[in-house]
Amino acid sequence: MGSMVETAGAVIIGGGITGCATAYELAMRGLTDVVLFEKDYLTAGATGRCAAGVRQQWGLEMNIRLSRGSCKILETLEEDLGYPHSIEFKQGGYLLLAFSGELLEQFRKNIKLQNELGVPSREVSIEEAQQIVPHLCTDELVGATFCPEDGHANPFHTTMAYAHAARKLGVDIRTRTRVTGIDVSEGRVVGVQTDRGYISTEIVYNAAGPHSGPIAAMAGVEIPVYSERHQILVTEPVTPYQGPMVISFERGWYCQQTPHGAFIAGLGDPSEPRGINNEATWQFAELLAHEVLRILPSLEELRVVRQWSGQYNITPDAQPILGGVRGLDGYYMAVGFSGHGFMVAPMTARLMAQMITGEEADMDISMLDLERFERGELILEPNVV
Ligand SMILES: Cc1cc2nc3c(=O)[nH]c(=O)nc-3n(C[C@H](O)[C@H](O)[C@H](O)COP(=O)(O)OP(=O)(O)OC[C@H]3O[C@@H](n4cnc5c(N)ncnc54)[C@H](O)[C@@H]3O)c2cc1C
């Protein structure tokens, strides 16, 4: 006796913020027979390991629009999705530090563009920076910029809010189910193989984060991405006293205080080898403490309670690859977000759902296609960590 082959309107691979938000946006557009496969549990990838910072202070119009659009969506997300918990979106701002005149010059150019696009960012004097963050040591500081609408959210609740809303609209989310193959025939996607069976579909969406390269390869698509470990730690909670996220591009670290009172801080190591590695090292904790305490010395009092790591998925220009692939119908991807995939996810999901359903797009993202690397049209964003 043969069993019926299962069919889906679309298959999403990956249960992080990108996959869950896109599932919701597709279902909102009437594509409700969507199946999402997640090999572990929702948020198991980069999403559940990230700092979930949301900043609009970018240097390129595309990034400003993506992050501003996402920020606006996050402001009313709980209500819009009917989520019964808080996503803990705290708009305490982002204070961007400049330790050189060169970076400050760049910040000034960025602010001009941000303001033209409606972002309420501004340059602040050293005195004002210290008013905004009273425990800031300004000895080495050359300048700073501030945007009061930037902030951070709880990545678990934000993802669950989307998943919850997607399920209500009929999306079938299957955790503990690993995709093992993508079936392609005559230039189009025809099905997806998992460790729990085969499903036929004409649309597959790669939202596999650090695993985006191997997933693309299953469809015969080669994408120029690699993954890289980034470490992060959290302190014991204390009475809130730091409003904004404080960040230094030059020194590669960021530090925020969550509504719960814990400080979360991370730092990128330029010598980190490529690959997937979830180990945590004492060298990271030591280096982070050294760098952050130079600027935020009062944090010295705090005990670190936990440290972990996750991966950035990185392209040659550290900007995502969004879209399909010429010559392969039905394959889409939203991958390669480096260290900023959380903050652009709400808008990315909407734009990708518009692309997949053939709806008119809210903004042009054609410059983020895979072929830009062949064309040599890399997107050079100055404000990237
Ligand atoms: C330490 C750290 C700090 C960060 N801080 C920020 C920040 O402040 N702001 C910001 O915007 N971004 C930040 N990021 C980046 C951000 O976390 C990512 O860009 C974002 O979470 C990517 O989401 P995603 O849904 O695309 O991928 P992921 O969350 O990685 O989800 C992909 C999912 O696919 C699943 N998967 C993989 N292979 C398969 C398979 N074969 N079958 C089924 N499922 C599979 C994985 O298990 C995973 O759950 C940070 C990242 C790290 C590591």
Rounded-to-integer distance, Cα 154 and Cα 250, Å: 26
Tell me if 15 CB under 6 Å of ligand 1.
Answer: yes
Tell me if 47 CB under 6 Å of ligand 1.
Answer: yes
Distance 104 CA to ligand 1 centre (A): 31
Tell me if 95 CB under 6 Å of ligand 1.
Answer: no
What percent of the chain lies above the pLDDT cut of 90? Answer: 97
Q: What value does the mean pLDDT take over residues 87-101?
A: 97
Q: Is the pLDDT of residue 382 over 90?
A: no
Could you identify the atom of ligand 1 that is nearest to the CA of residue 334?
26
Distance 47 CA to ligand 1 centre (A): 4
Q: What value does the mean pLDDT take over residues 17-40?
A: 98
Report the nearest-CA residue for atom 4 of ligand 1: 50
DSSP 273: P
pLDDT band at 3 (very low <50, low <70, confident <90, very high): low
- Domains of the chain with bracketed CATH: 6-49+156-225+317-375 (3.50.50.60), 89-151+229-310 (3.30.9.10)
Q: Is the pLDDT of residue 211 over 80?
A: yes
Distance 138 CA to ligand 1 centre (A): 34
Distance 39 CA to ligand 1 centre (A): 13
Could you identify the atom of ligand 1 that is nearest to the CA of residue 194?
42
Q: Is the pLDDT of residue 33 over 70?
A: yes
Mutate to test the pocket of ligand 1, among 42, 228, 337, 385 (most ligand atoms within 8 A of CB): 337
Tell me if 89 CB under 6 Å of ligand 1.
Answer: no
Give yes or no for a contact between 121 and 176, defined as CB atoms under 8 angstroms apart.
no
Q: Which of 338, 383, 385 is nearest to 56 (CA)?
A: 383
Q: What value does the mean pLDDT take over residues 214-242?
A: 98
What percent of the chain lies above the pLDDT cut of 70? Answer: 99
pLDDT value for 347 = 98
pLDDT value for 5 = 80
Measuring CA to CA, how many Å separate 111 from each of 1, 91, 102, 123, 162?
66, 18, 14, 8, 32
Tell me if 280 CB under 6 Å of ligand 1.
Answer: no
DSSP letters spanning 61-119: HHHHHHHHHHHHHHHTHHHHHT-SS----B---EEEEESSHHHHHHHHHHHHHHHHTT-
Distance 140 CA to ligand 1 centre (A): 34
162-200 pLDDT, tens per residue? 999 999 999 999 999 999 999 999 999 999 999 999 999
pLDDT value for 4 = 74
Mutate to test the pocket of ligand 1, among 22, 37, 39 (most ligand atoms within 8 A of CB): 39
Phi, psi of 182 (to 5 degrees): -120, 125
113-134 pLDDT, tens per residue? 999 999 999 999 999 999 999 9
Q: Which structure tokens are listed for 358?
A: 């053939």
Report the nearest-CA residue for atom 2 of ligand 1: 50
pLDDT value for 385 = 62
Report the nearest-CA residue for atom 18 of ligand 1: 341
Q: What value does the mean pLDDT take over residues 104-111?
A: 97
Tell me if 266 CB under 6 Å of ligand 1.
Answer: yes
Give yes or no for a contact between 97 and 176, defined as CB atoms under 8 angstroms apart.
no
Tell me if 211 CB under 6 Å of ligand 1.
Answer: yes
Mutate to test the pocket of ligand 1, among 211, 278, 352 (most ligand atoms within 8 A of CB): 211
pLDDT value for 2 = 47
Q: Is the pLDDT of residue 43 over 90?
A: yes
Q: What value does the mean pLDDT take over residues 304-326?
A: 97
Q: Is the pLDDT of residue 339 over 60?
A: yes
Distance 254 CA to ligand 1 centre (A): 18
79-91 pLDDT, tens per residue? 999 999 999 999 9
Measuring CA to CA, how many Å separate 374 from each of 125, 275, 324?
43, 24, 15
Tell me if 37 CB under 6 Å of ligand 1.
Answer: yes
Could you identify the atom of ligand 1 that is nearest to the CA of residue 335?
26
Distance 318 CA to ligand 1 centre (A): 15
Tell me if 179 CB under 6 Å of ligand 1.
Answer: yes
What's the chain's average pLDDT?
Answer: 97
pLDDT value for 1 = 45
User: What pTM did the predictor assign?
Assistant: 0.97
Measured in whole angstroms, how far is the alpha carbon of residue 148 from the centre of its chain?
20
pLDDT band at 376 (very low <50, low <70, confident <90, very high): very high
